[in-house]
Structure 1
């Protein structure tokens, strides 16, 4: 298959505007989508509880109570959203080490449920106190088991949705891979050379991204994000691996989560603490850790 750099750049530049906007505030949009889903779902649950208690037209349940129960549960889940994202990224679905994955996620569900129950019970007791009422959670062991079953199922549901959406989005936006990762190298010397291009698979098409066009690389869970001409392409790799692979091409690690292309650096500023900032020609500022200050100076020299 033959590739043209001009054609590749033109095709890759045709990225829908919504993808660009989503990438700028991806975490915020995910949080808002989760909030909308939880509060819509829990509003339906609360109204269902109220209707069940009023089937005979007589109930001692106040209208606000089921909404307090459901909304405190939803709010507690939103507060724990960073924990869920960490858990999902820390151990994504793999076909190897499945026993270890199961145990890790089992522990995560227990911790998530314990935190979720503690938060929502505290909120309910506070709100009932404001209404001059008394909230009784019931026997903790029995009620925790009751809540854990729902929390564990919710964890599994969100885990599946999270990774399905991530897979679909990466295919729409374009996911990178080393162009020669499956091709045998004819000699050790060639195998050690840095790649000149990354292969980007976007839906049913393939494009090339020049290594020289990559401005910086950031760590993102089990992936690294390649930033090239305003676009972001995820690559399944560790930052350490990609930094070592691209070092001969003029890339240096400047932070535990960042690698920069020497050719796009405009200037570097240092602080009295030893840390600093790397200003790129595109206007982006990257943090420079004191740990990588001297290695960067040596690489630039």
Structure 2
């Protein structure tokens, strides 16, 4: 696909990883510098007996320990996403995660401080661990909440920018215009616009955490569902599971390439090559043969 036909979202993808990593690095770098400056100003104003490098070590160690935990929070929020419609169910898990965040943050920053102090021939004393951990947790739970909120808002913006699919709701009055259990169309919201796409237009689907990406005409639209959940709503005469993470539209299958491992590779008409595990290979070949 050339750059002229790519959407802004697709043009962003090569830069996405760098932007995401850069955002967190810059955020914690700016925070560490700003906090170090203000801490040194307080030390000078109150005439405290601290060298100028010590506040820098405190703030830098906290920032480095927090930054190292960001990938874990990204993974955790994929597994247990926090949305407006599920926050009550997810809150206990995230409260436990905030305790883990704080414990790892404290252990990491204390270890770094001890190492820095040792290079200066000094010993770093964290104090009473239970008391100090309680103090740090009151700050860390707010930091954890801020990180989770930033991640979830960013993902929400990405989904709307990309285009997010959903099942049609049951109307408030009267019967639905089509079967809710076997939907023929999906509603896609994209940048403030809404439009309907036919289920038959879906070429293939891929599980992605708590979402299933619907592939249509070169674009992916995430649908909040498990792969098994959406499989049960699709027309079994048209859609077939080929892998624990993939479902294909039989009309869009070009060919099936057997592999020496017993698995197979599914060549789609749009040029995509999808894995087919041996568990589903026989059923796929039978279906394609019957349909052909």
TM-score normalized by structure 2?
0.80
Compute the displacement of 1:191 (Å): 5.6
Q: 2:228 aligns with which of 204, 222, 240?
A: 240
Within the candidate set 61, 70, 74, 1:81 is matched to 70
Describe the SS at the equivalent of 2:223.
strand
Bigger RCO of structures 1 and 2 (CA < 8 A, at least 6 apart): 1
* Corresponding position of 1:211: 199
> Normalising by the residue count of structure 1, what TM-score does the alignment of the two structures yield?
0.78
Residue 200, structure 1, aligned to residue 188, structure 2? yes
SS at 1:245 equivalent: coil
- Whether 2:28 is the aligned partner of 1:38: answer yes
Q: What corresponds to 1:10 in structure 2?
A: none
1:159 aligns with 2:152: no
- 1:228 aligns with one of 193, 216, 221: 216
**1:116 paired to 2:105:** yes
Match of 1:136 in 2: 125
Give the C-alpha shift of residue 26 in structure 1: 4.3
Q: Is the 8 A contact 1:22 1:29 kept in 2?
A: no
Task: Give ranges in structure 2 of 5+ residues lacking alignment.
Answer: none
Query: Superposition pairs for residues 1-301 of structure 1, below 5 Å?
Result: 16-17=7-8, 19-23=9-13, 26=16, 29-55=19-45, 59-63=49-53, 65-89=54-78, 90-95=80-85, 98=88, 100-178=89-167, 180-183=168-171, 184-185=175-176, 193-195=182-184, 197-248=185-236, 250-301=238-289
When residues 266 and 135 of structure 1 are mapped into structure 2, their CA distance, relative to the original with a 3 A threshold, is farther
Aligned-partner Cα distance in 1 for 2:259–2:126: 53
Size of the aligned set, in residue pairs, is 282
Q: Deviations over 1:7-50 (max 9, x none)?
A: xxxxxx98752x21334564553332222212212221112112
